[in-house]
């Protein structure tokens, strides 16, 4: 398996533009997580899906952020409109089981987003 695949690896966009980040989890995994990482705040969980259903979106910063998981093999994180303070590395991770189980989460390589 190729692991968790994220695209693009790097994204530079102008303030106000829409940004869509994509994630393909590991085949067979039923939990998917979107994280954001900055120097100041470290890693933050944005949203958690289990069996394609959003279970916990309490980490989503504001209405400009939305995430979807239309099927077990694909998820998107959208920011509209983007702002400079959204600049960060966004990670997608997947695991087998639920967030409650003690299973390993596998992370993608991340998407480095720069909003200018």
Partner 1 sequence: KNQVEQSPQSLIILEGKNCTLQCNYTVSPFSNLRWYKQDTGRGPVSLTIMTFSENTKSNGRYTATLDADTKQSSLHITASQLSDSASYICVVSAGGDDKIIFGKGTRLHILP
HSE-up of residue 66 (Cα within 13 Å, Cβ side): 8
Inter-residue contact 9 to 27 (CB < 8 Å): no
Beta bridge pairs of residue 56: 48
- β-bridge pairing 111-115 and 10-13: parallel
Min CB(44)–partner 1 separation in Å? 7
Q: How far apart are CA 79 and CA 94, in angstroms?
A: 21
Nearest to 25 by CA among 47, 60, 42, 49: 49
Q: Cβ of residue 104: shortest distance to partner 1, in angstroms?
A: 4
Q: Which is nearer to partner 1, 45 or 72 (CB)?
A: 45
Shorter beta-carbon distance to partner 1: residue 15 or 55: 55
Q: How far is the CB of 33 from partner 1 (least distance, A)?
A: 8
Which residues of the shown chain bind partner 1 in the complex (CB under 8 A)?
Answer: 4, 42-45, 56, 91, 93, 98-100, 102-110
For residue 111, the minimal CB distance to partner 1 (Å) is 11
- Residue 27 or 38: the one with the smaller Cβ distance to partner 1 is 38
Minimum CB distance to partner 1 smaller for 74 or for 106: 106
Secondary structure of residue 84 in the 3-state scheme? helix
């Amino acid at each position: 398996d190729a692991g968790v695949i994220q695209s693009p690896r790097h994204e530079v966009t102008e303030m106000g533009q829409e940004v869509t980040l994509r994630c393909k989890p590991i085949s067979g995994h039923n939990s998917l997580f979107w994280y954001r990482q900055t120097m100041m705040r470290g890693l933050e969980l944005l949203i958690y899906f289990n069996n394609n259903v959003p279970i916990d979106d309490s980490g989503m910063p504001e209405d400009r952020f939305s995430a979807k998981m239309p099927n077990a093999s694909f998820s998107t994180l959208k920011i509209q409109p983007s702002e400079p303070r959204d600049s960060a590395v966004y990670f997608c991770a997947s695991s087998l089981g639920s967030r409650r189980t003690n299973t390993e989460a596998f992370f993608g390589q991340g998407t480095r987003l720069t909003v200018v």
